[in-house]
Amino acid sequence: MKRQRKKQPEITVIMGVYNPEDEQRLRRAVASIVRQSFRDWEMILYDDGSREECAALIRRAARMDRRIRYVRGGKNRGLAAALNACIRRARGRYLARMDADDLCRGDRLARQYAFLEKHPRFQWVGSCAQLTDDEGVWGFQPVPAVPGKEDFLYNSPYIHPTVMFRRQVLLESGGYDTSRRYRQCEDYELFLRLHSRGYRGANLQEPLLRYREDCLSHRRRTLGRRWREAMLRWRGFRSLGILRAETLAYVGKPLLAGLVPGPLHHQIRKWVKRDHGRKRKNL
């Protein structure tokens, strides 16, 4: 009697992790996937060369569910390389991004899967997000429903860890660019490149994820990273045909933002993005 081939999961959740310092935060992120109403998924936890004590935390988190695979990388190569390794190993038709310090709403996978099944013209779908720090939810990040090229001027019109891709589009496009010139800007570069090639994405107009943004997030945005983003904007805007005299100020936006100290930047963001009491479904 022939052994039946194991059915491939519909969705692969991909997460690159490097030296997590808060085990409970990582476990909460993984648990938010385990508790999804959509059950036909697998998850790849890719350890991007963490110290052994941190690698042990990731392995423990991977044992939370049999559908989670722990993959140990060699030396630290950065998020882009980690995600490409996940893409190569993924078995699902759809790939859902997730970060180690964020939380998914219980119906996130179900909502995005249903959208992509119904709308074949879109190659990926993201969503809005609630913004959190140690004090809890402090704001709301909206994103355009169907981003166009002009939406790339201010920021990326997609919140990376909210996005679910068709796996095929990432294979066709070569995945994330791992060169140093795009380090820490790999998501922005990917979406600019995909749009320049004619692919299109959408965003569900509800918060399917709690996205962690705190003072430390702003401190990590070094001058080097801001310079790389400015150069990416120059190249990306040119590829989209939106590099004009009146848009040059947007190229320099990351450098200007870098003049504001991290804690002050975070407080300004909290004031701008604070939740004004709109009714939203809790996570």
Domains of the chain by range and CATH? 11-214 (3.90.550.10)
Determine the pLDDT at residue 256: 81
In the numeric block, the tokens 């997730």 are attached to: 98
Least confidently predicted of 42-46, 91-95, 133-137, 159-163: 133-137
Residue of higher predicted confidence among 56 and 275: 56
Q: Distance between CA 81 and CA 250 in Å, rounded? A: 28
Q: Distance between CA 81 and CA 191 in Å, rounded? A: 16
Q: Distance between CA 249 and CA 154 in Å, rounded? A: 10
Query: Cβ distance 136 to 216 under 8 Å?
Result: no
Which pTM was predicted?
Answer: 0.91
Determine the pLDDT at residue 161: 98
pLDDT, one tens digit per residue, over 98-118 is 999 999 999 999 999 999 999
Percentages helix, strand, coil for the chain (3-state, rounded to 5) are 40, 20, 35
From start to end of 36-153, where are the E strands? 41-47, 68-72, 94-97, 103-104, 124-133, 136-141
Phi, psi of 9 (to 5 degrees): -70, 155
Query: Cβ distance 112 to 204 under 8 Å?
Result: yes
* Model confidence at 198: pLDDT above 80: yes
Q: Distance between CA 250 and CA 124 in Å, rounded? A: 25
Q: Distance between CA 249 and CA 228 in Å, rounded? A: 16
The rounded Cα 189 to chain-centroid distance in angstroms is 12
Query: Cβ distance 42 to 92 under 8 Å?
Result: yes
Determine the pLDDT at residue 56: 96
Query: Cβ distance 206 to 282 under 8 Å?
Result: no
Q: What is the number of helices (H) and of strands (E) in the chain?
A: 11, 9
* Model confidence at 260: pLDDT above 90: no
Q: Distance between CA 70 and CA 30 in Å, rounded? A: 12
**What is the average pLDDT value for the chain, to the nearest integer?**
91
The rounded Cα 65 to chain-centroid distance in angstroms is 22
How, if at all, do strands 94-97 and 136-141 pair?
A: unpaired
Determine the pLDDT at residue 268: 58
Determine the pLDDT at residue 217: 57
Give the DSSP H or E segment for 159: none
Determine the pLDDT at residue 207: 98
Q: Distance between CA 178 and CA 189 in Å, rounded? A: 10
Q: Distance between CA 231 and CA 83 in Å, rounded? A: 23
